[in-house]
Structure 1
Amino acid sequence: MDSSSAKIVVGYALTSKKIKSFLKPKLEVLARKKGIIFVAIDKSRPLREQGPFDVILHKITGREWRLQLEDFRQIYPDVVVLDPPDAIQHVRNRQSMLQEVAKLKLRGCRGQVDVPKQLVITGDPATIPSVVAKAGLKLPLVAKPLVVDGTAQSHALSLAFDELCLTSLSPPLVLQEFVNHGGVLFKVYIVGDSVRVVRRFSLPDVHKQLGNGVIAFPRVSSAAASADDADLDPEVAQLPPCELLNCLSKELRCRLGLRLFNLDLIREGGTGDHYYIIDINYFPGLGKVPGYEHVFTDFLLNLAQSKTEKPSASLPDNPEDILRDEPNSK
């Protein structure tokens, strides 16, 4: 199939790592069956000279790329850009990414969603203990890099147990109050109007101060840390209710201006219905989600059918279908 016979042509500008994890042969084969082709954008040539495209899928950074993309959008306003650079930039900073979550007023959604109390640190590490005390944050604290740039380092965490060790941290960073959540988090993947959830192991609960200093953790919710088949306490393993995720995904799609992102969601231990969003990631590792090929190709077809429609996010009626459902090929 060439681009002239395709229903939808997707130009992609991705890192080599993203291409390997996302554009798998199974996805490309299914896409071709549905009339979708993926065409690599040549980053050495002006974007305005390439195409035609129906959709531009991108996850690269840099001022030059952003300017080219904005220029392209002015010339070809009917081309769908996934997603607008300004909206993506908003969630690449941990100070701004959770601001819209803090404004949420969910009603009748079978749960409460908040963000942990947090503090942005950009100055002298020696001042961190006094700044934390003034802000009233309670130890232990999770320390995260301020900027999310797609590197493994930007997802590395540290857990600080005492005031003295705070001076050993390296700003710029975000400090979040640690919330006990049973050692499990829920990665909520939002692809247009589709939502999928998988369980991941997370930091263990802290009932008492287990020690002094700072404990560093690599990327906690990696694919290797899947908790889907683990023998967990049912209260810990239970997926968030569909009503809650429907409300949450619909609200955040609107507030963030994004159609392709995921949430790291935890449930506070002992509450049953009190959740916290601790991170938001743009264009996450969809290749780790069962059946992502069907989800993503259906999403692209929906874009082609109506570029102006803004459907609300929806979930299967059975919560377990969210986790394991692989939609049938159309």
Structure 2
Amino acid sequence: MSGKSIGVWMSDKKSQKLNWKELIKACNSHGYNLVKLDLERAFEDQGKIDVFLHKLTDLIAAADQGDSKAAKTISRVEQYLSNHTNITVIDPLDNVRILLNRYSYYSILQDESSFKSLGIFTPAFAEFTTSNIERNIEIMRERGVRFPIICKPTIAHGSKSAHEMVLIFNERELSVAKPPCVVQSFVNHNAVLHKVFFVGNRYHICERPSLKNFYASDDLDPIFYTTGEVCKADSQSTLSILDPYDETDIKMTLNEEKIKAIIRVIRKKIGLILAGFDVVIDNVTGNHAVIDINVFPSYDNFPNFFEHLLDCIEDTIQKSNSDCCLEDNEWIEDCGGNHRHNGLINIGGSHNYEVMGMNIM
């Protein structure tokens, strides 16, 4: 054993879902000890660590919203990392912060100039910071947001409410939107959602049920739901059953080149190694819409996840310790002239999009 260590922190809930025996085995096979960190104790007292692997999203979100205990904890973590700049952090806290705010990361996606020519987009969106209906209608018009809309809390982590959504069909019901929130034009996608999970340059795609097609209406009441109720692999929600007039034998085909383009942008513009995102295919244009991004999602069904994770950690360390050429965050050549991983790899195999599952945490 080389004496290198990976310090890990995540919530009790995520810890319980993780196969620690497999993670320890993978760490050992790559020459690392695994240290489960305690945020209540000084990191210096818990041994030297070379890699900090974490899911601090909920704590960062709580700290940013004024929780004093969470703020002190995050401050201690940030001070420790500032004092130990040689530690490889998966993923950097400032990069993670970007995905805590839906308006922020939607804006990054919307501003990506390469997407339009590739047939990739994020649906029109706007942020409500007031309960003034007239003002919110005006904001929607300015931003090109059209009914029906999905209303989502602006803060994407930190509480159960972050995953509570409302589908609104008309101006009359806009009062149910509770600011601060993001409203986004709903894209009809024939009740099929594609979940993409990536670890560095390795990715896996799963198909999931999703909301059926909906249309603007003055008669329909808002529909309240959580993403877990509708989009898990085993979901049986009536919201996913297509109406007879929407049923079709024509299946929209996921384009993997578009998926790769999205991964490259998330890695380059947001700087994440561990992330997942949701894509739906517009049933009229066939364009691919990115509707959500998640930090360090649950990788339950990602083949050999821990091995890929350790490979990715070692790639990241090598990158930070060398002057190797990097193009779009993909290794082209290492310092010895060897090609490491030129391009993105679908570790699930092409077109293996069966409905099976991971619960996004």
Normalised-by-shorter TM-score class = 0.7 to 0.9
The alpha carbon displacement at 1:248 in A equals 2.2
Equivalent-residue separation in structure 2 for 1:323 and 1:33 (angstroms): 31
Q: Matches of 2:312 and 2:72 in 1, distance apart?
A: 28
Distance 2:167 2:233 in 1: 21
Residue-pair matches, total: 313
Q: CA deviation at 1:100?
A: 1.7
Residues in 2 aligned to 1:123 and 1:108: alpha-carbon distance in whole angstroms: 31
Partner of 2:359 in structure 1? none
Deviations for 1:74-108, whole angstroms, at most 9, x for unmatched residues?
Answer: 22211111112111111100110122211223379
Partner in structure 1 of residue 345 of structure 2: 315
Q: 2:226 aligns with which of 218, 227, 230?
A: 218
> Aligned partners of 1:285, 1:98: CA distance in 2, in Å?
22
| Alignment gaps of 5+ in structure 2 | 60-69, 237-246, 331-342, 356-361
**Larger RCO: Structure 1 or Structure 2 (Cα < 8 Å, ≥ 6 residues apart)?**
1
Offset at residue 203 of structure 1 (A): 1.0
Query: Following the alignment from structure 1 to structure 2, what is the Cα–Cα distance between the partners of residues 34 and 134?
Result: 53
Question: What residue is the counterpart of 1:294 in the other structure?
Answer: 307
Q: Distance in 2 between matches of 1:223 and 1:51?
A: 40
Find the counterpart in structure 2 of residue 192 from structure 1: 200
Once residues 221 and 264 of structure 2 are traced to their aligned partners in structure 1, the CA distance between those partners, rounded to angstroms, is 40
User: Which residue among 123, 129, 147 is the counterpart of 1:116?
Assistant: 123
Q: Is the 8 Å Cα contact of residues 146 and 173 (structure 1) preserved in structure 2?
A: yes
Give the CA deviation at 1:175: 0.3
Cα 1:290–1:284 shift into 2, 3 Å: same
**Within 5 Å, which residues of 2 pair with 1:132-211?**
132-133=140-141, 135-207=143-215, 209=217, 211=219
State the shift of 1:275 in Å.
Answer: 1.0
Corresponding residue to 1:266 among 280, 293, 296: 280
Partner of 1:240: 255
Question: Structure 2 counterpart of 1:165, which letter?
Answer: E
Deviations along 1:225-260, whole A, 9 cap, x unmatched?
49xxxxx9785463332x222222122211102111
Query: d(CA) in 2 for partners of 1:290 and 1:148?
Result: 27
Q: What SS class does the counterpart of residue 196 from structure 2 fall into?
A: strand
Alignment pair present for 1:65 and 2:96: no
Residue 76 (1) aligns with residue 72 (2): no
- Taking a change above 3 Å as real, the CA distance of residues 21 and 234 of structure 1, as seen in their structure-2 partners, is farther
Secondary structure at the counterpart of residue 147 of structure 2: coil
Distance 1:7 1:286, change over 3 A: farther
Distance 2:140 2:35 in 1: 49
- CA separation of 1:295 and 1:33: change in aligned 2, threshold 3 A: same
Gapped runs of 5+ residues in structure 1? Answer: 227-231, 325-330
- Deviation sequence 1:21-40 (CA, Å, 0-9, x none): 23443333343333333211
2: CA distance between counterparts of 1:27 and 1:237? 37
Matched residue SS, 1:286 = coil
CA–CA separation in structure 2 for the residues paired with 1:298 and 1:260: 13
1:114 corresponds to which letter in structure 2?
A: F
1:252 aligns with 2:266: yes
Shift of 1:51: 2.8
Q: Is the alpha carbon distance of 1:90 and 1:293 closer, same or farther for their aligned partners in structure 2, counting shifts above 3 Å?
A: same
Shift of 1:297: 2.8
Q: Mean alpha-carbon deviation: is it higher for 134-143 or for 114-123?
A: 134-143
| CA distance in 1: counterparts of 2:163 and 2:47, whole angstroms | 34
Q: CA 1:211/1:28 → structure 2, altered by over 3 Å: closer, same or farther?
A: farther
Q: What TM-score comes out, normalization by structure 1 length?
A: 0.83
Q: CA RMSD in A?
A: 3.0
Q: Secondary structure at the match of 2:113?
A: coil
Superimposed CA distance per residue, residues 162-185 of structure 1 (whole angstroms, 9 cap, x where no aligned partner)? 111111221111000001112111
The normalised TM-score by structure 2 is 0.77
Contact 1:83 1:258 in 2 (8 A): yes
